[in-house]
Amino acid sequence: MSEKILTYEEDFERLGKMDLKKLLELFMIQIKNIWRVDGLYFQGIEKRFGVDSAEEIDRETWSILAKIEARDLKKLYSIEEIRNIREFMELLLNTSWAIYQSKKSYYIDEENGIGVFKVISCRVQEARIKKGLGVFPCKNVRYIYLRSFAEAVDPNIEVEVVTCPPDEKPPDYWCAWRFKLKKVYR
């Protein structure tokens, strides 16, 4: 039996030969795994050091990840500068956070440079409730992540929390975020 060493390029080639549906399923599994690791780390830190320490570490981690995601997505889509809110929302929809949400909606008002993103079904909150852990007040963590992502994409984008736990949950969604270009390019 001989050992086979694979490079990144060989993995890329191997994955490129997969059936598209299978490849997308694999992609979604890996997105879920990122979030599973996040949740498990959070719970481990919370158990050992308390929820405040866990949340502080979570905020720092997601702030850094947001900047990395913004850089990588801008490179993937060959975007050096955002020209409109639609371009920003397209990048946002392709973040690991947005893809992970099992049901979401978004709205774009191009004329006023506004985009709104809503999480209708939140896997994290629904999993916590199912485990008897209760709703996690994720507003601070998510705000830091989204603000860091927006700033890394274009400092001209403002982020506003419409609602997010611990705010009272609206009946038909978990959280909503508003993104606005400070200066609309025409």
The Cα–Cα gap between 48 and 44 comes to 6
Is 176 a residue whose pLDDT tops 90? Answer: yes
DSSP H helix total and E strand total for the chain: 7, 4
Position 185 confidence tier, pLDDT thresholds 50, 70, 90: low
Assess contact for 87 and 154: CB atoms under 8 A: no
| Average pLDDT in the chain | 94
Position 1 confidence tier, pLDDT thresholds 50, 70, 90: confident
Q: Which of 102, 138, 140, 136 is nearest to 119 (CA)?
A: 102
Sign of CA dihedral 123, 128, 134, 136: negative
Is 58 a residue whose pLDDT tops 70? Answer: yes
- What does the pLDDT average to over 45-66? 95
Most confident of 53-57, 173-177, 181-185: 173-177
Tell me the whole-structure pTM to 2 decimals.
0.90
Domains, the chain, in order of start with CATH, read 8-181 (3.30.1380)
Is 6 a residue whose pLDDT tops 90? Answer: no
Is 184 a residue whose pLDDT tops 80? Answer: no
pLDDT of residue 24: 95
Q: What percent of the chain has pLDDT over 70?
A: 98
Is 75 a residue whose pLDDT tops 70? Answer: yes
Note the pLDDT tens digit of each residue in 99-146: 999 999 999 999 999 999 999 999 999 998 999 988 989 999 999 999
The Cα–Cα gap between 151 and 7 comes to 34
- What does the pLDDT average to over 4-24? 93
The Cα–Cα gap between 142 and 125 comes to 13
